[in-house]
Structure 1
Amino acid sequence: MKYITLLLLGYFFISFNATDYQNNTAEKVKNTTAKRGFKFGVWTSADAKKSDADYTKEFKKYKEGGIDEVLINTGADPKLLKRIVPLATKEGLKVHAWIMAMNRPGDSVALQHPDWYQVSKEGKSCFDNRPYVDYYQWLCPTRKESREHVLHLVEELAKVEGIESVHMDYIRFPDIFLPISLLPKYNLVQDAELPQFDFCYCDECIKAFEKIHHKNPKESHNTSIDMEWKNFRLNAIKAVVDDAYKIAHKHNKQLTAAVFPYPEMADHMVRQRWDKWNIDEVYPMIYHSFYDEEIDWVGYATKQGAADLEHKKTKINTGIYIPGLKNDEELKEAILLAKENGAVGVSFFDGNALSDSNLKTIKETKASLK
């Protein structure tokens, strides 16, 4: 009985200590999160013709509605960015320089070099045969000149004083698979990888791949299950991101990116494996309506991404598509689902879609998290 009593006492103390440890750990996590704060951001586009007064009005509206940061697309124009940053920071907003990276529609420099563009399995170039939409003009991440052009644009933005990060978008390949809800719009069925949407088969990519693997993907029996060919393209995007990371940090800025919902899905749909990148923060576009999913999918996809980043320094910031929400109740639920499942913030697409009612809900939800 003496030994049984000692065992029971030991079990009690171990259980108590374990529970105490778990409670302390949970409290530390809670305190760390509270100290860091849960961020609220919005994607928005700039226009050089817009007056400073109009920008100030827009930024003031965001700030009063609980927004902390703006991700601004200036068309990779550092001069316009320099003009806008002080206006946003004066209103208390942090600024990220949003850039369309590999997809460069209307890029006046790139358009002088037709060989810079990605080529489909059918042998058609994005220069003059664009998949899905006319603004899909994708540059090759392997070709030295095209990747250096993109990295030069990143550096020019990174030099701008006052920004938090260079925020890369379209840092991937064209969609091999579209989100399911978009397929009817293009009268498409995508049950397999279709050659007209499979990129990049340009001479430079084929040559670089052959040098490593001693085979030509054009001669592959089934490129959709050729893992070396798939990984070659995943690594080509990773290499651009990793170089951009070095450039951003050289100028004391962070590197962030808008990405597809979670790594396995991004890998499958657009050759993008963002959990393997050197990057400070990712903003997965968890637009549930694009995938015919319900609002709880915001939590699911956030959790998937957070799990893949568990042992990495990269943070996750959930992107929410405002037009895909039924009402303000869903907006609040999406925010809470993102926070509960590992996000350090949420960002909304886009500024023009945010109604006064949306901003009121964001502000109230933000206050409830404190």
Structure 2
Amino acid sequence: MQTKYFVLLLCSLLFFSCEDRKSESIAAEQQENAQRDSIADFKFWTWITADPKKADSAYTSEFKKYSENGIDAVLINTNTDAELLAHLTPLAKEQGLEVHAWLMTMNRPGDTVALKHPDWYQVSRSGKSSFDDRPYVDYYQWLSPSNPEAVQHIYNLIEGLAKVEGVASVHLDYIRYPDVYLPIGLLPKYDLKQEEELPDYDFDYSDASVNAFKEKYGKDPREMENPAIDIEWKQFRLNQVKNVVDHAYKIAHDNGKYLTAAVFPYPEMADHMVRQRWDKWDIDMVLPMIYNNFYNEGIDWIGFATQQGVNDLAEKNVELHTGLYIPEMTPQELKESIQIAKDNGAKGVAFFDGNALTDEKLQVIKEFKEAN
């Protein structure tokens, strides 16, 4: 009799233990769904760059100004300084802002660790390493996504930011190759014509990349007469970036964070210009930089590019938030641009950058939010 009673008691304890775990699992799932739902609302973001010398009171004032005028989230570049990010995050959250850790990913200008390893850097078809011969601008120092040590260094940086308490996502920027083609509106600045893939702007012919490609396909891209038309060589480079993103996604999620990224306007265009096919990535949210004036386009193009991206993500559980370049926009143009992005399927808009959010433009955002 005692044995029967003991067995019944044990079964009861196991049942309630399983039910408790089930309840905890359901609660965790509901919390995650609630977070997803809150992010799914039309949201306003802004990119900002941190200054370690700036006083806390100045940051509090800045964050309060954003939140009182409709901004929901700040993407903070601390130059991968996790300690500074950990300091600023509660200041922003106290003002009701979501915080995202913004980092330059493949382009790592002035990275003191990477600079000790010249072999980590991408090399152009003309044989120039971005370690010391940088395309376009001096801050273009691109690490190779094919170099295991360079990539591990990037993962370490991502993990450091992902571990910061209170951060909503790790936000990848420059997660691509150097520009094969510049936006047409920027070409006069560099006195360039880019009607084909020019050797100085076609990367990555580093040893790490070439050897990895040769091992897989048995061909040497350095010996190709016209590498621009070799589909395997192009796809290999797209996949090298995808590999970095997909692993970053795992790091972020293992630390309870989302993975977001700033990307080129829509996947086909990104593929053509910077070898970036972001509709194939493991990622939670993308913020395509639909900077219409860079392409000599009107604000109606914001709608076209937004819709292209939304369509390409139709089969994936990935949100798109349109990035707007606002320094040259009037308040009226800003208002129209936000509406155009929303009408074409964006889940929100992100403004580049905080310094360009004048009182007049913040008023537009506030009024738009109140009206919607």
Alignment partner of 2:145 out of 138, 141, 144: 141
Q: Do structure 1's residue 118 and structure 2's residue 122 form an aligned pair?
A: yes
In the alignment, what sits opposite 1:328?
331
Q: Tell whether the 8 Å contact from 1:287 to 1:324 is kept in structure 2 after alignment.
A: no
Distance 1:184 1:284 in 2: 24
Q: CA deviation at 1:322?
A: 0.5
In the alignment, what sits opposite 1:284?
288
Q: How many residues align?
A: 337
Deviations 1:225-268 (A, max 9, x none): 11100111100000000000000000000000000000000000
In the alignment, what sits opposite 1:18?
none
SS of 1:228's partner is: helix
Q: CA deviation at 1:183?
A: 0.4
SS of 1:127's partner is: coil
Q: CA deviation at 1:73?
A: 0.1
SS of 1:151's partner is: helix
Q: CA deviation at 1:172?
A: 0.2
SS of 2:259's partner is: strand
Deviations 1:186-222 (A, max 9, x none): 0000011000000000011111101111111111121
Q: CA deviation at 1:97?
A: 0.1
Q: CA deviation at 1:367?
A: 1.3
Correspondences of 1:260-275 after superposition (within 5 Å): 260-275=264-279
Q: Do structure 1's residue 259 and structure 2's residue 266 form an aligned pair?
A: no
Q: Tell whether the 8 Å contact from 1:166 to 1:256 is kept in structure 2 after alignment.
A: yes
Q: Do structure 1's residue 48 and structure 2's residue 52 form an aligned pair?
A: yes
Distance 1:196 1:36 in 2: 42
Q: Tell whether the 8 Å contact from 1:132 to 1:186 is kept in structure 2 after alignment.
A: yes
In the alignment, what sits opposite 1:190?
194
**Aligned pair in 2 of structure 1 residues 113, 34: CA closer, same or farther (>3 Å)?**
closer
Q: Do structure 1's residue 298 and structure 2's residue 282 form an aligned pair?
A: no
Higher alpha-carbon deviation: 203-212 or 259-268: 203-212
Q: Do structure 1's residue 225 and structure 2's residue 220 form an aligned pair?
A: no
Distance 1:296 1:243 in 2: 36
Aligned AA (1:77)? D
State percent identity of aligned pairs: 61
Aligned AA (1:75)? N
Q: CA deviation at 1:34?
A: 9.7
Q: CA deviation at 1:324?
A: 3.3
Q: CA deviation at 1:33?
A: 8.6
TM-score of the two chains, using structure 2 as the length reference:
0.89
Structure 1 runs, 4 residues or longer, greater than 6 Å off? 32-35
Aligned AA (2:107)? N
Deviations 1:250-307 (A, max 9, x none): 0000000000000000000000000000000000000000000000000000000000
In the alignment, what sits opposite 2:365?
362
Distance 1:219 1:105 in 2: 30
TM-score of the two chains, using structure 1 as the length reference:
0.90
Q: Tell whether the 8 Å contact from 1:193 to 1:224 is kept in structure 2 after alignment.
A: yes
Deviations 1:39-81 (A, max 9, x none): 0000000011011000001000101111000000000000000
Q: Tell whether the 8 Å contact from 1:120 to 1:195 is kept in structure 2 after alignment.
A: yes
Correspondences of 1:84-95 after superposition (within 5 Å): 84-95=88-99
In the alignment, what sits opposite 1:241?
245
Q: Tell whether the 8 Å contact from 1:130 to 1:136 is kept in structure 2 after alignment.
A: yes
Q: Tell whether the 8 Å contact from 1:234 to 1:272 is kept in structure 2 after alignment.
A: yes
Q: Tell whether the 8 Å contact from 1:168 to 1:256 is kept in structure 2 after alignment.
A: yes
SS of 1:104's partner is: coil
In the alignment, what sits opposite 1:9?
none
Distance 1:319 1:190 in 2: 25
Correspondences of 1:5-16 after superposition (within 5 Å): none
Aligned AA (1:340)? D
In the alignment, what sits opposite 2:354?
351
Query: Runs of 5+ in structure 1 lacking a partner?
Result: 1-31
Q: Tell whether the 8 Å contact from 1:288 to 1:324 is kept in structure 2 after alignment.
A: no
